[in-house]
Chain A
Amino acid sequence: MDSLITAAGQALAAGDLLGALKRVALRDDPPALALRGIAMAQLGDLGRAKTLLKAAARGFGPKEAVARARCIVAEAEIAIVSRDLSWPTKALDTARATLEAHGDTLNSAHARNLGARRLLLLGRLDEAEHLLAGVDPSRLTPPARATHELVVAGIAVRRLQTGAAASAFARASEAAQATSIAALIAEVEGAAAILKTPAARLLSRGDERLLLLEDVETLLASGALVIDACRNIIRCEASAVPLASRPVLFALTRTLGEAWPGDVSRRTLLARAFGAKHVDESHRARLRVEIGRLRDELRAFANISATSDGFRLVPHGDHAVAVLAPPVDERHAAVLALLGDGEAWSSSALAIALSLSPRTVQRALEELSSEGKALPVGRGRARRWVIPPVPTFPTILLLPGPLPSD
Chain B
Amino acid sequence: MKKSEAEILREYGPFPGADHVHGVTFDGRNVWFASGDKINALDPESGSTVRSIDVAAHAGTAFDGKHLFQIAEDRIQKIDPDTGRVLATIPAPGGGGDSGLAWAEGSLWVGQYRGRRIHQIDPETGTILRTIESKRVVTGVTWVDGELWHGTWEGDDSDLRHIDPETGAVLERIVMPSGTGVSGLESDGGERFFCGGGVSGTIRAVRRPKKHAP
Binding site for B on A (CB under 8 A): 1-4, 6-7, 10, 23, 27, 29, 31, 61-66, 102-103
Contact = CB atoms under 8 A, between A and B. Distances in A.
Interface stretch (B10-18, B124-132, B150-158, B165-173): B150-158
Contacts of B37: 10
Nearest to B156: A102
A80 to B, nearest CB: 26
Nearest to A104: B199
Q: Interface residues of B toward A: which range?
A: 20 to 34
B157 A3 contact: no
Contacts of B60: 3
Contact of B98 (A3, A27, A63, A102): A3
A23 B96 contact: yes
Given A29-B114, A63-B155, A23 B73 contact: yes
A61 B36 CA distance: 26
B120 to A, nearest CB: 18
A2 B179 contact: no
A3 B74 contact: yes
Interface string B130-172: 0000000000000000000000001111000000000000000
A2 B96 contact: yes
22 contacts: A1-B22, A1-B183, A1-B198, A2-B98, A3-B59, A3-B72, A3-B73, A3-B96, A3-B97, A3-B98, A3-B99, A4-B96, A4-B97, A6-B22, A6-B59, A7-B56, A7-B72, A7-B73, A62-B155, A63-B156, A64-B154, A102-B156
A348 to B, nearest CB: 37
Contacts of B183: 1
Interface in B76-128: 92, 94, 96-99, 112-114
B36 A102 contact: no
B185 to A, nearest CB: 14
Q: Chain B binding site: helix, strand, loop or mixed by DSSP?
A: loop
Given A10-B36, A10-B58, A3 B71 contact: yes
Contacts of B114: 2, 29, 31
Contacts of A61: 154
Contacts of B96: 2-4, 7, 23, 27
Contact of B154 (A27, A63, A102): A63
A66 B155 contact: yes
B204 interface: no
Interface in B7-33: 20, 22
A31 B37 CA distance: 20
B58 A7 contact: yes
A31 B60 CA distance: 18
A4 B99 contact: no
A271 B51 CA distance: 86
Contacts of A7: 56, 58, 72-73, 96
Interface string B171-198: 0000000010001000000000000001
Nearest to B101: A3
A29 B96 CA distance: 12
B161 to A, nearest CB: 16
B78 to A, nearest CB: 16
A334 B137 CA distance: 54
B58 A4 contact: yes
Nearest to A67: B155
Given A7-B72, A10-B37, A23-B73, A2 B157 contact: no
Given A2-B112, A3-B71, A29-B97, 19 more contacts: A1-B22, A1-B59, A1-B99, A1-B183, A1-B198, A2-B98, A2-B113, A3-B58, A3-B97, A4-B74, A4-B97, A6-B36, A23-B73, A23-B96, A27-B97, A62-B155, A63-B156, A64-B155, A103-B179
Contacts of A31: 114
Contacts of A62: 155
A6 B61 CA distance: 14
A39 to B, nearest CB: 16
